[in-house]
Amino acid sequence: MRTALISDIHANLEAFEVVLSDIRDRGVDRIVCLGDVIGYGPDPCACIDLVQEHCEFSLLGNHDFACLLEPTNFNPIAAEGSYWTREQFEPTGEDLDKSSTARRQAFLHLMRTHAILDGDPDYLLVHASPRKPLSEYLFPEDVDNAAKLAAAFGPMPGRFAFVGHTHVPGVFAAELDQSRTVSVDSLFEFEYANELEGPFELDTLDGRLRFIVNPGSVGQPRDGDPRASYAILDRSSENPRILFRRLEYPAERTCEKIRREPRLADRLGTRLLTGE
Ligand SMILES: [Fe+2]
């Protein structure tokens, strides 16, 4: 079973279409989305529609939550983007297709905060972190913060978790302590996806390692590489493998759409050109 893991589309239709095309070419069995389908970008309705059409399910991200309910702890640019996005889902215009509006709203309401893939507890999926599925950022530099990572890994029911949220693709590894749990005595590492030569093997050895995998962001990468990011999970061998993919897309087109919408800050478009 090969599963495409996508996350943080952020209403970037140009990036999402390129990713979907690549997924089709690679013959994966299914697509799952780790959340933040909307927020920041100019095409929330089209992106929700494509997720509904192509993904087995989508988790709830903090930006989906913000548009559905209200933004919490958002900076002014992100908050205003959320209010604008929310209005795109409201049946206010004369010529709006009311059934599409209702369908999109229902889809947002049904998003879950976490999932266990195929009922296998080794595969936990959340938007942000196992400890705080909606809000906790797990940054690469957190490998120096054992207390934070130990607490974040703690609620994992099995060996692997898959998260988005930071928009930085890569893999955290934790080596269990002497009592065979993840604690402040564990050793933590982070491998950047862009520094990998090939697929990353989730080496289960004798059960001493736990992994948290981030496929990166489809629609707003933040690791200094502006290409759209996603990953393919291949569980066909004894050790599961993660293939990270990076894809060029016409970011200047998305940037121009954002520039034309006065309530979306220009910075939301220009950052797409540099991946910052
Ligand atoms: Fe996000």
CATH number at residue 237: 3.60.21.10
Q: Which residue has the higher pLDDT, 184 or 90?
A: 184
Residue 214 has pLDDT above 70, yes or no: yes
CA 161–ligand 1 middle distance (angstroms): 17
Alpha-helix runs per DSSP H in the chain: 13-25, 44-54, 62-68, 76-88, 98-109, 146-153, 251-260, 266-274
CA 67–ligand 1 middle distance (angstroms): 13
Chain-wide mean pLDDT for the chain? Answer: 94
Q: What is the pLDDT of residue 207?
A: 82
CA 133–ligand 1 middle distance (angstroms): 12
Q: What is the pLDDT of residues 23-52, one digit of tens each?
A: 999 989 999 999 999 999 999 999 999 999
Residue type, 54: H
Q: What is the pLDDT of residues 177-213, one digit of tens each?
A: 888 899 999 999 999 999 999 999 998 877 899 999 9
255: tokens are 């940037």
Nearest to 97 by CA among 42, 44, 37, 45: 45
201 strand-pairing partners: 241
Widest pairwise Cα distance in the chain: 65
93 pLDDT band, cuts 50/70/90, is: low
**pTM value?**
0.95
* Chain center to CA of 188: 22
Whether residue 16 contacts residue 7, with contact meaning beta carbons closer than 8 Å, is answered with no
Quote the domain boundaries for residue 237: 2-274
CA 124–ligand 1 middle distance (angstroms): 18
Count of the separate structural domains present in the chain: 1
CA 138–ligand 1 middle distance (angstroms): 12
Q: What is the mean pLDDT of residues 143-171?
A: 96
CA 205–ligand 1 middle distance (angstroms): 32
Residue 96 has, within 13 A of its CA and on its CB side, a CA count of: 16
CA 165–ligand 1 middle distance (angstroms): 5
